[in-house]
């Protein structure tokens, strides 16, 4: 109630402030750019609407401002997942259609006539997006208007592809896509959680086994009978805890295998939908170019890369925790660390058919198929993004072995710019002030092969030394 009383003053800054008033024109923005700070905060109970409930809102807004309703639906899906992720984003975008606050202050519309132009209200936000698209020429050039909404060609392509699917498939397509997305997301999160519990259980077991071994050594070396007997008794008591910990590890392994099977089933069930134009980025499908696949799914709206690394040649590919990772080319695994290895954390190395060797680090989970000696094909799932080892946030650390150059300088890598990832350190035109949405963006365990510090494999041409400074 307090929030509504405070933000109601925003109506004075909008062109429409009463239910009887007509919708504001797309010809000019609001008379003032004042935005009350309370509107930047999400409501305690965000509004949630289904596709069928949103459909008349998209259609009404499209008709009112002369823009296709399906484009509004596609923007709504790309920006907030139909209200499932309304921010504020890392760039500060807010609400159903992810407006930047200054843009909302100029184009925000009180469409439902309650006296408040509220970006967290679906009707207000969708009508405001339609108004903005119309103001940027959407009635005659919808592609250009979408580009004005977010100054990136990949964004235009994704929105218009999705819009075409909504036009032809409507509720059926939306339901299929949302179901597939939810199944994959839930399955990946279940694997992440199960793998985390397994790693924690293995760490407890290793600590107990280490203590038991020390007690047995003490018993063997004890000079006095009483000291030896006391150490043996302590080791025997500890062994009960070791057995319990072994049972816990076994249970967690079963849990992980069940989650892995569910993820495989979800992938199989969504294969057809994943090849629908516009659906690939939503479902995290692999992106191909020539004989290569970009190793991180999600598309340029979620995946970001800098041109350099903070202290040596490597690529830190930022993406949300649990994002799908793929083999970048056909090749053979030369080493794998499913339980983590030093600064790299969970990761592996792959020798690709072009004669290069690549290292993946900081994974949250490694697929069972990724083991030393295994053959991988381009686009095969290899794990999930994480921040194990020495990492300050979720990303894939990708480097050549030896690290003689930046992966970002490879022609295949650069061919994915704007389609599979966005550069984060270049000057972007989407920094324009009127842009609506600004693109932003373990315990010791068994190692299959590798040195304690260095990621070394007997079949690799030499040690892969992983350096870090303030984080990788």
Q: Which of 214, 247, 274 is the last residue of a domain?
A: 274
Tell me: do 334 and 392 sit in the same domain. yes
Q: Residue 226's pLDDT is what?
A: 76
Q: Which helix (H) or strand (E) holds 422?
A: strand 422-423
Residues 232 and 300 both lie in one domain: no
Give tens-digit pLDDT for 194-232. 999 999 999 999 999 988 888 788 777 777 777 778 777
323 lies in the same domain as 264: no
Q: Does residue 250 fall inside a structural domain?
A: yes
In a domain, 247, yes or no: yes
Cα angle, residue 63 at apex, residues 58 and 67 outer, rounded to 5°: 80
* One domain, residues 270 and 331: no
Contacts for 273 with CB less than 8 Å, ≥ 6 apart: 176, 177, 180, 279, 283
- For residues 95 and 128, membership in a common domain is answered with yes
- Predicted pLDDT of residue 133: 97
| 364 and 418 both lie in a single domain | yes
| Residue 452: strand, helix, or coil | coil
* The predicted structure's pLDDT at residue 41: 84
Structure tokens at 64: 């009112």
Q: Please indicate, yes or no, whether residues 361 and 389 belong to a single structural domain of this protein.
A: yes
Give the C-alpha separation, 64 to 82, whole Å. Answer: 21
Q: Is residue 30 part of a domain?
A: no
Q: How far apart are the first and last CA of the chain?
A: 45
Kindly state whether residues 379 and 334 are assigned to the same domain. Answer: yes
Q: Indicate whether 323 belongs to any domain.
A: yes
* Number of structural domains in the chain: 3
Is 364 a domain residue? yes
Helix, strand, coil % (nearest 5) of the chain? 45, 15, 45
- What are the structure tokens assigned to 406, written together? 């930046």
In this structure, is residue 436 part of a structural domain? no
Taking the C-alpha atoms of residue 469 and residue 412, their distance in angstroms, rounded to an integer, is 28
Identify whether residues 221 and 115 lie together within a single domain: no
Structure confidence at residue 239 (pLDDT): 85
Q: What confidence tens digit (pLDDT) does each residue in 353-378 have? A: 999 999 999 999 999 999 999 999 99
Q: Is residue 464 part of a domain?
A: no
Does residue 279 fall inside a structural domain? no
Query: Is the full-model pTM beyond 0.75?
Result: yes
Q: Which backbone phi and psi does 425 adopt, to 5 degrees?
A: -115, 10
Domain's final residue, options 254, 274, 294? 274
Per-residue pLDDT of the chain (472 residues; tens, 9 = 90+): 434 434 433 443 443 333 446 899 999 999 865 566 667 888 889 999 999 999 999 999 999 999 999 999 999 999 999 999 898 887 889 999 999 998 999 999 999 998 889 999 999 999 999 999 999 999 999 999 999 999 989 899 999 999 999 999 989 999 999 999 999 999 999 999 999 999 999 999 999 998 888 878 877 777 777 777 877 787 788 888 999 999 999 999 999 999 999 999 999 999 888 888 889 889 999 999 989 999 999 998 889 999 988 778 999 999 999 999 999 999 999 999 999 999 999 999 999 999 999 999 999 999 999 999 999 999 999 999 999 999 989 999 999 999 899 999 999 999 999 889 999 874 333 333 334 543 222 333 333 333 222 332 333 333 333 333 334 4
Q: Given this model, what pLDDT does residue 129 score? A: 97
End position of a domain, from candidates 116, 149, 182: 149
51 plus 86 within the same structural domain: yes
222 to 218, 234, 237: CA distances (angstroms): 6, 13, 18
With b for 16 or more beta-carbon neighbours within 10 A and e for fewer, the 62-88 pattern comes to bebbebbbbbbbbbbbbbbebbeebbe
Question: CA 302, CA 185: separation in Å to the nearest integer?
Answer: 15
Residue 379 shares a structural domain with residue 311? yes
Tell me the H-state helices in 121-224. Answer: 122-135, 142-149, 153-221
User: Residue 112's CB: how many other CB atoms inside 10 A?
Assistant: 16
The predicted pLDDT at position 33 comes to 59
User: Does 336 share its domain with 315?
Assistant: yes
Domain interval for residue 191:
174-274
Asked whether the beta carbons of 14 and 24 are under 8 A apart, the reply is: yes
β partners of residue 384: 324, 365
Contact partners, residue 360, CB within 8 Å, separation at least 6: 295, 325, 347, 348, 349, 350, 382, 383, 396, 397, 398
């Amino acid at each position: 109630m307090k929030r509504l009383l405070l933000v109601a003053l925003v109506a004075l800054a909008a062109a429409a402030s009463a239910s009887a008033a007509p919708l504001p024109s797309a010809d000019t923005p609001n008379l003032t750019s004042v935005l009350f700070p309370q509107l930047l905060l999400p409501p305690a109970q965000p509004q949630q609407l289904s596709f069928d409930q949103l459909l008349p809102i998209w259609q009404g807004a499209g008709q009112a401002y002369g823009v296709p309703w399906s484009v509004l639906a596609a923007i709504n899906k790309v920006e907030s997942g139909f209200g499932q992720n309304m921010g504020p984003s890392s760039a500060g975008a807010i609400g159903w259609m992810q407006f930047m606050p200054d843009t909302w202050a100029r184009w925000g519309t009180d469409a439902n006539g309650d006296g408040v132009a509220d970006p967290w209200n679906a009707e207000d936000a969708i009508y405001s997006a339609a108004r903005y698209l119309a103001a940027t020429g959407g009635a005659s050039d919808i592609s250009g208007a979408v580009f004005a909404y977010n100054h990136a060609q990949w964004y235009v392509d994704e929105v218009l592809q999705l819009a075409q699917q909504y036009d032809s498939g409507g509720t059926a397509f939306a339901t299929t896509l949302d179901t597939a997305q939810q199944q994959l997301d839930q399955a990946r999160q279940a694997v992440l959680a199960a793998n985390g519990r397994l790693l924690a259980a293995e760490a407890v077991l290793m600590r107990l086994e280490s203590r038991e071994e020390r007690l047995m050594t003490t018993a063997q070396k004890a000079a006095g009978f009483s000291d030896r007997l006391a150490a043996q008794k302590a080791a025997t008591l500890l062994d009960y805890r070791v057995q319990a910990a072994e049972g816990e590890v076994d249970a967690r392994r079963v849990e992980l295998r069940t989650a892995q099977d569910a993820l495989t089933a979800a992938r199989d069930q969504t294969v057809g939908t994943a090849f629908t134009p516009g659906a690939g980025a939503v479902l995290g499908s692999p992106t191909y170019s020539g004989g290569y696949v970009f190793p991180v799914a999600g598309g340029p709206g979620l995946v970001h890369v800098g041109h350099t690394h903070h202290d040596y040649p490597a690529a830190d590919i930022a993406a949300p925790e649990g994002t799908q990772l793929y083999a970048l080319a056909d090749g053979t695994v030369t080493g794998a660390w499913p339980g983590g290895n030093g600064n790299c954390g969970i990761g592996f190395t792959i020798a690709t058919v072009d004669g290069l060797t690549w290292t993946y680090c900081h994974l949250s989970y490694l697929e069972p198929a990724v083991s030393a000696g295994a053959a991988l094909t381009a686009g095969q799932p290899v794990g999930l993004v994480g921040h194990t080892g020495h990492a300050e946030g979720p990303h894939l650390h990708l480097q050549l072995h030896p690290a003689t150059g930046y992966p970002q300088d490879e022609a295949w890598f650069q061919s994915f710019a704007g389609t599979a990832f966005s550069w984060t350190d270049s000057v972007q035109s989407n920094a324009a002030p009127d842009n609506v949405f600004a693109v932003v963006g373990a315990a010791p365990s068994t190692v299959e092969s590798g040195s304690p510090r260095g990621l070394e494999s007997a079949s690799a041409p030499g040690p892969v030394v992983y350096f870090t400074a303030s984080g990788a």
